[in-house]
Amino acid sequence: MTTISVTVNGTVHKATVEARTLLVEFLRQQLNLTGTHVGCDTSQCGACTIHLNGRPVKSCTMLAVQADGQAVTTIEGVAKDDGMHPMQAAFKECHGLQCGFCTPGMVMTALGIAERHKTDQLDETTVRHELEGNLCRCTGYQGIVNAVLLGAKNMGVKVA
């Protein structure tokens, strides 16, 4: 067993984990943050996407011990106060979800897209390309692409 200290959504959590505990297992089972989903467990679907030090990564393909001393943001930590984050609101507005299973990962990836393009311009082709790590079985993606563009725009990103 290894003792780790991970800052999750701004709060420092000290915990004891097995070396083989995945980060997503730690988040869901030890911290009860079940917003982060496991869709495939094989690094393909992106439902488990969280931010590690501000950058989207797949938490099913990372050990909890690798996050020791790092900062993690999950979907639960995205909105300020009680309302929705502009990216979450855009998914609602644009019908960017149906069953919602992929949505937490989609939003975390979308926030990464907005962050990477905050100083240039974002277009639909770029959004489609940068959503490649996230699968959705319901929507056909059009609503998701629209949501990412609207959410980014409402966050102040220039959108073509």
Ligand X SMILES: Cc1cc2nc3c(=O)[nH]c(=O)nc-3n(C[C@H](O)[C@H](O)[C@H](O)COP(=O)(O)OP(=O)(O)OC[C@H]3O[C@@H](n4cnc5c(N)ncnc54)[C@H](O)[C@@H]3O)c2cc1C
- Among ligand FES, ligand X, other proteins, none, what does residue 47 contact (CB within 5–8 Å per kind)? ligand FES
Can you tell me whether residue 23 is helix, strand or coil?
Answer: helix
Q: In this structure, how many other beta carbons lie within 10 angstroms of the beta carbon of residue 62? A: 20
CB of 140 to ligand FES, least distance (A): 9
Binding residue count for ligand FES, defined by CB under 6 A: 22
Q: Which of 100, 120, 57, 139 is nearest to 22 (CA)?
A: 57
CB of 133 to ligand X, least distance (A): 7
CB of 43 to ligand FES, least distance (A): 5
Determine contact, residues 70/50, Cβ cutoff 8 Å: no
Q: Kindly give the interhelix angle for 142-154 and 103-116, rounded to the nearest 10 degrees.
A: 50
CB of 6 to ligand FES, least distance (A): 18
Is 58 an interacting residue with respect to ligand FES (CB under 6 A)?
yes
Which residues is 57 bridged to in the sheet? Answer: 50
Amino acid, single-letter form, for residue 125:
T
Which parts of 37-76 interact with other proteins (CB under 8 A)?
A: 41-44, 46, 49, 52, 55-58, 61-63, 65-66, 68
Q: Round to whole Å and give the CA distance between 149 and 123.
A: 7
Is 150 an interacting residue with respect to ligand FES (CB under 6 A)?
no
Written as six digits, the tokens of 94 are 């644009």
The site for other proteins (CB under 8 A) is made up of 2, 18-20, 22, 41-44, 46, 49, 52, 55-58, 61-63, 65-66, 68, 109, 112-113, 116, 130, 132-134
